[in-house]
Structure 1
Amino acid sequence: MTGLIARELARYNIDITAISETHLSDSGQLCEPLGGYTYYWSGKSSTERAESGVGFAIRDKLACPLTELLKGISDRIITLRLHLASKKYLHLINVYAPTLPSPDEEKNKFYQDLRHVLRDIPSADKLLLLGDFNARVGNDFSAWNGVLGRQGIGKCNSNGLDLLTLCAEFELCLTNTYFRLPEKYKTTWMHPRSKHWHLLDYVIVWKKDLGDVLVTRAMRGAQGWTDHRLVRSKLKITLKAPRRASHKIPTKLSCQILANDQTMRAKLDEKFGVDGLLISESAPVDEQWSAYASRLRGCASEVLGKPQKKHQDWFDDSDPEIRKLINDFRTSLRTPDDNKRRAAHYNLKVKVRALKDSWWANKANEIQLYADTHQTGRFFESLKTIFGPRVGKIAPVYNKDKSCRLTQQSDILSRWAKHFNEILNPDHQTTDIPYIEALEDLPVEEQLADAPSYNEFISALAKLKNDKTAGLDNLPSELYEYGGPNIKKPLFALILRIWEYEMIPQDWKDACISKIYKGKGDISDCSSHRGISLLSAAGKVLAHIVNTCTVAEAPTQYTLSEASGSSISSGCVMAPDLSVLCSRHFESVPQLLGIFCAGLSATLRYIQLSRAHLRCPNAVLSLVL
């Protein structure tokens, strides 16, 4: 359904759409990559029955540079703030008002919340209040001068009186009543019993900003599977140009085809080895790595290209049939015969549902076939198609003392940085120095200073896992694992140089921390998320080499036991073993210190910090962590 809505919005060239009655729980977002829109919503708690609900559909070019999160006031009010100019904003408020038979307490609470939101908006900013108010305001423009225009329709009811009172209080005007249009372009909803058309959906602005509104009218041809017509308002507003990022984010590479396509492997290796690396061997390590990474990224982008995104909505395979049905429905709107219009609308709904049911039946048979034939990869890929685009939960983040919620993107980023810094770099460390000094000295292992062999390098490459998100260099592990000699040998030479000069490229040390919601607890609380560090795949190769050497040389009395809950094969080293390895190798082979620390940052992922501080020197832990 979101794909169909995105198609209609793109056809009418709409940038921001207010959506009512979403019937979705909590707050979240959903992106339609091919549709070009991102959906945001606010609803009731997941423990309550999903009713009402409001949201926005924003074109991607506007959703990406948003500096503030959307704020869900309740399941009936959601707000959005767009940056127009220096210290000037456009406030958009989407509402879904209670219906006429609703209790007075519910109506009073709705308008009380709306008044509270309007009071917080600076008078210098622009306002766009829109949504389904379930109110008929009539055409008595003389009694409501400045609020109603001369082009109102129908009579006023009690909900309309509440809306007019609110507009008069805050000097607002209903733009739907200011443009001389045929009645069919004003009304938005037809009563199911009387078959009379009424105006219930409004676009409201400040009186002083009425000149910015070019036209507000109903679009009869829009098909959104709803009983309300789409209302489009054109405004004369210039948004602030998005600020360019200081660095261009590299595009993802289609590296999955390297796993099964020998031809693409040979082509990539040949492309990389045509010109070679145009840099001196005496250049610093960072410059050599930068030249190698940029060269490999450029060749991979040219040979492999970007991964193709598949549309995950059910109507993708039935696109020609759906377009034909919608065109027939639009044609019927031009006929004066009401029976033909109803028949065309009914035919549209019935056939689209039949296409949807057929797609689901075929997809179910396809998934069952994959399950019966044990094709696990295609089985899970089909499941992703069933579930469609990923739905993400969004919410403002609490500050440290949880006294308020942060909505500015810069404040949110700063809060996450402080949160992960407290986790990874705790202030309180209780290290038992006498115990560490009493540890038995281990014999010196001189062979650990020897540079790794090419076979050890190849073995480390084989330990890399596929289908993992790349680090900041955007070079997935498949490029190294399936690359040819022209790709592997320069990387091995770089590792030997790193081993010799004890200098590690900065890209191998840096990590991008991505937060993942645990699925429980308050989503606004930072402690309800866990962080995943995205590391450079080339740095993992060096880490595997170092880890293999140190763990292989560890004496049996200091290896991991089953009681510790981990095994050496899993790449984990617990705190007691870490202290022994540090005492043994750091004291015996000083030139390995920097390399081993880089390896630890990538391989010792499951170390328990509280136990590590009790067994390891602070100097060692500061290098490792």
Structure 2
Amino acid sequence: MTIGTWNVRTLLDLTDNEGPHRRTAIIAHELKRYGIDIAALSETRLSEEGSLTEVGEGYTFFWKGLPEGVQRNYGVAFAVKTSMPQSPIGVSERLMSWRIPLTNSRYATLISAYAPTLDAEEESKDRFYSQLHTLFQSVPHDDKIILLGDFNARVGRNHQLWQGIMGRHGVGKCNDNGLRLLTFCSQHSLVITNTCFQLHDMFKTTWMHPRSKTWHILDYAIVRRKDLRDVVITRAMRRVDGWTDHRLVRTTMKLCIRPPARRQPPLSRLNLNSLNDPVRRNSFQEIVGTRLSDPNQPIFPPTQEGLNQNWDHVSNILLDSATSILGTTKRKHKDWFDEQARDIHNLLEEKNKAHQAAINNPNATTSTTSAEARSKVQHMTRSMQNEWWLKLAGEIQGFADIGNQQEFYCAIKRAYGPQRTATSPVRSADGSKLITDKKEILDRWAEHYQYLLNRSNPSDPTVFENLPEFPTIPELDNMPTRQEVHMAIISLKKQQGCWS
């Protein structure tokens, strides 16, 4: 998907305007020339809310502005190449949002913004960022956010101070509006993509100051920090001609959409320790025996399929009977709060009553009582936590001293909590499919070892019988060994008187 942001100065066809008429057609022509699917336009100066379709180029314009008869210096709009099931929503003459569907029940929220200029009143700037903050809070957490527009801000190049918010390739110095924008991005975990790619300044800057003739970045494409990997590149298009002093910023994105995570309920285990109770054990035996000896239970044929059905029937009887009689185990690995939850809840109940009394009848006595109750809860919970950890540490040390490895590791698990195991997916035999289902994974491993351990031996064992043998030399069979030669040398030296 290719998106763009562009300050078009105006879309009005005024007689005293130096630009040509049919501005929407010219803008649509330039957007089509650079392959822009959706563009956020700012400073459109159109009135009210409305839409317009340029049939020739295939773009539809949606805008939001001030009412008719009021001086209009702002205005935002969207230009989209393809039809969408939902239309954008105008927040104000400076903000417009559009929630578009992607896939797998996922959405992307695009925001077209036009921030006040540097010399605008502080009240106007505060109002703009307050509305933008409210708009961000209304966006669902799973949506991808793409914030586009002219923010009239220079963020500079100090990436060490704003790590994770801007990249290493900024331009110029930061001003007051840039500080506002960076602070807002920090609050909402956003990253400015214009500063994340190593390009020449001519491909990053979007506006030239009329007096100093210095180029700056004023138009930005901003996404969530976790969605930065979706952005292929963000750059300014120098050759776009739309009778405006701003350059078009084009952002190419390759959206990575993950399916929503499925939370599986925790597995319940049977409380097998209940079998130590003779009453429950006898009840379990009686129920299983009664259900298995029921004359009305189905009869299965003596085939492989019938054996499987018979086993399923028996296992269901055993499981249902064990669940109803023995029950399931409760959580073993409790922390200090869970093990002392009753005492803590009683303290919290007293604190809540004192707090409610202070609200209903505010005076010095009730306020003091509420403060004391709160202090008591804080003191007692800290004491409970310290005592729990000291007791657990003592148990671990005691098990280590007597060499009880089983209880030692059980106590360690109480401290660290239970370990969670994840199922590792495998690929099919031809490698074309990734198997994630637990039963299918087991079947795939069985298939793998069935092929690995039961395949036929490709070698011919008779080949070893036909191998030629090395010829033997009779003289070599009568040669002395190395030890015999060494003993002969020692004997000869003794005879010659070399050794006494």
TM-score of the aligned structures, taking structure 1 as reference length: 0.37
Q: Looking at CA atoms only, which structure, 1 or 2, has the larger radius of gyration?
A: 2
**Greater relative contact order (CA < 8 Å, ≥ 6 in sequence):** 1
